Amino acid sequence: LHLRRPPEAPALFPQETVLLAEDAEETYLLPVLGRPLFNYVDEIYQAVQKDDRWLQPKNGKETDPSERLIRLCQEVVVYMTLAGNAGLFSVSMNDAGLNTPSSQGYEEADEKRIDRFVKDSWKKGHRAIDRLLLFLEEDAQSEKPEFAELWKSSRYFYRNHDTLFTTASEFDRYVSIDGSREWFVKLMPDIRFCQDTYLAPQVGYTLMETLVESLTSPEKR
């Protein structure tokens, strides 16, 4: 998303790292958005990137929801690309083999600093994922959502339909997840296991299905 740009626009990454960024998109961004929304974001990016003014930093002050969505997606890809490829960025492959690049006036980063760089990038990447999820959740709960229908195919969609905890906010009332939407999604297999293994046999599977349906089907409330 961040690399498909007009020729005159400045590159965010050197061209040789395009494959690394695309890998980050497929690994971290695609599961969050789901294929329909991912493809839609790619389409609208092809349109907005033709406007040179849009390419300038907005400091998070975009008023257009589509532009804000693109910026949030870019944050995820940038930080996850850096976090996952620090080792590759620290060496250079050329005719002489593998070498460590150096620049006059700069001190080479030692292993400790590289490790800190990776950890910081990793944390920022996951925070960016949570900001993206929160943005999509707020849009889905609005009177006129723009992305909810496309986002529903993703397992990261904010509302579940098969558990007693339908949203991250509800679960956070009982187990502190610091409001993390991503953490909630990762805990879903454990939540389903506990619900099916410990709770359903006690109250009965029919009652359990009825309770879940009452939470997830508006007409049953």
Q: One-letter amino acid identity for 86?
A: A
Strand partners, 92: 99
Helix or strand or coil: residue 94? strand
* Strand spans (E) along 36-182: 92-94, 97-99
Local structure of 40: helix, strand or coil: helix
Q: Return the percentage of the chain with pLDDT > 90, whole number.
A: 48
Calculate the CA 70 to chain-centre distance: 11
In this prediction, residue 34 carries a pLDDT of 95
pLDDT band (50, 70, 90) for residue 72? very high
Mean pLDDT of 137-153: 94
For residue 30, the model assigns a pLDDT of 94
Residue predicted with more confidence, 201 or 14: 201
User: Can you tell me the mean pLDDT for 79-86?
Assistant: 82
Average pLDDT, rounded, for the chain: 80
55 pLDDT above the threshold of 80 = no
- What pLDDT, on a 0 to 100 scale, did the predictor assign at position 45? 84
Residue 181 has pLDDT above 70, yes or no: yes
Highest averaged pLDDT of the listed ranges 26-40, 42-56, 60-74: 26-40
